[in-house]
Amino acid sequence: MHLFNLSLKLNGFPIKKASRVLENIQAKNEADFETYLLQKKKDIFNYHMQNNSFYQEIAKNATVTDWKNIPVMTKSDLQQPLNARLSKGFTTKNVYVNKTSGSSGDPFVFAKDKFCHALTWSVIKNRFGWFGIDFNTSKQARFYGIPLDKKGYYKERFKDFLGKRFRFSVFDLSDAAFEKCVTTFQTTRFDYINGYTSAIVQFAKYLQKKNIVLKTVCPTLNACVVTSEMLFEDDKKLLEKQFNIPIINEYGASELDLIAFQNPQNIWQVNSETIFVEILDKQDNILPFGEEGRIVITSMYNKAHPFIRYDIGDIGILSKSSTLQKPILEKLIGRTNDIAILPSGKKAAGLTFYYITKSIMEDDSTIKEFIIEQQKIDTFKIIYASAEDISEAKIKSIKTEMDNYLEKGLNIIFERQDKIERSKSGKLKQFRSLLN
């Protein structure tokens, strides 16, 4: 029985219709696709200008014939009651409602009409299908957070049952917990792994320490899809070595859709079927393929709630080899609010600190995880999880690297914790600035 499809259907999400629409989009040739894209952008803009008073205020004098001058929406625009943002004919009773994780610092409740949500799942199913994964029949080992309240907990467990998923907690990453994980993999015919990058990487480190290759423990495993957090190249190599299966990078946003998915040719292919992705500079000018800028996305099917030229809060580059039909995400650099401002006025991506400390600190197997926090313009705290304090030699090395990569005179504070607390969702935010 196809429980996954059935669960979507019973909840009013027309998955069969959405799958047919997606097939028709994918069957278009390049010329027809360009026509389709122009029409869908026009249709969704005109729909919300006619049916959504919230969007009418945002795009007051804009016209669809001048796309580059349509205002860019931000997350802060959406921090008002959901009912004030819904289009005519839609209420919280007849749409899909969810909340963003808040990892950007601007959490909000959003909505999708039911066909749009079904189309999101059609795209996700299609991409996982590139690797032989079928949500109706493939068994998933799931490394995600889970609500701790009774109602939310059992709701997620029921959804896991329908989706053929077994959920491992990301709130306990101890050796004892991972030992139980290995036992579960030994006794369960899992087809693939899916979940938060940081938790899966910690599991791989445990396997490395115990000299275990997961594919030998669970021969049915065929793929691992990581999501929600950055995957660094050396971490990917570790996963490939300890799992001995393809490691696939997924990039998405709950309020929108799947944005990009690593295809079997190891290329991060952008979803062009249901969303339109642009790269903009600070002045909202459209940048050509190959240049770095803000990732701005239009959801072309969501009639319940407008996401038109929506600044997702990430920075990236679309490859020069991109086309309208097949855009390629060359690089995902990080979030726009993950920027450190230094005393000299210089700016640095928060990930810079992560790279500087990562290679030095991970030589020490006692250090499990760490995050970096900017407390003042000249002061950074490195919070790390370890059974013992970091050595003076390592502290000196990190400070030297900070001088080399950033600038001299920064104050670096080190704080050891037995365990790094994660957000309620279970995600690990690797850099955060307290300046704002």
Domain residues of the chain, as ranges? 3-335, 339-433
Weakest-pLDDT range from 154-158, 419-423, 430-434: 419-423
pLDDT higher than 70, residue 287: yes
In this prediction, residues 51-80 reach a mean pLDDT of 91
Q: Which residue has the tokens 């070595």?
A: 241
> ∠ CA 165-117-263 to the nearest 5 degrees?
65
- Phi, psi for 366 (deg, rounded to 5): -80, -20
pLDDT higher than 70, residue 355: no
CATH of 339-433, one of 2.40.70.10, 3.90.1150.10, 3.30.300.30, 2.60.120.620: 3.30.300.30
Q: Is the dihedral of CA 124, 127, 133, 137 positive or negative?
A: positive
Question: Class assignment of domain 3-335?
Answer: alpha beta
Q: How far apart are CA 227 and CA 157, in angstroms?
A: 20
pLDDT higher than 70, residue 352: no
Q: How confident is the model at residue 436 (pLDDT cuts 50, 70, 90)?
A: low
pLDDT higher than 60, residue 337: no
What is the DSSP pairing of strand 140-144 with strand 109-112?
unpaired
Weakest-pLDDT range from 136-140, 192-196, 317-321, 393-397: 393-397
Q: What is the mean pLDDT of the chain?
A: 87
pLDDT higher than 70, residue 71: yes
R_g over Cα of the chain? 22
pTM, two decimal places? 0.79
The one-letter code for the residue type at 93 is K
In the chain, pLDDT over 70 holds for what percent of residues? Answer: 89
Q: How confident is the model at residue 233 (pLDDT cuts 50, 70, 90)?
A: confident
Which run of H or E residues covers position 39?
helix 30-51
> Which tokens is 123 given?
């795209």
Residue 100: which region, alpha, beta or left (left: phi > 0; alpha: psi -120 to 50)? beta
pLDDT at 261: 95
Q: How far apart are CA 252 and CA 256, in angstroms?
A: 8
- The 3-state DSSP class for residue 328 equals strand
The one-letter code for the residue type at 332 is L
pLDDT at 105: 46
In this prediction, residues 125-148 reach a mean pLDDT of 88
In this prediction, residues 125-142 reach a mean pLDDT of 93
Determine contact, residues 296/253, Cβ cutoff 8 Å.
Answer: no
- Identify which of 251, 247, 252, 239 has the alpha carbon closest to the alpha carbon of residue 266: 247
> Which tokens is 305 given?
């709630």
In the chain, pLDDT over 90 holds for what percent of residues? Answer: 56
Q: Which residue has the tokens 């997620």?
A: 156
In this prediction, residues 170-180 reach a mean pLDDT of 83
pLDDT at 222: 95
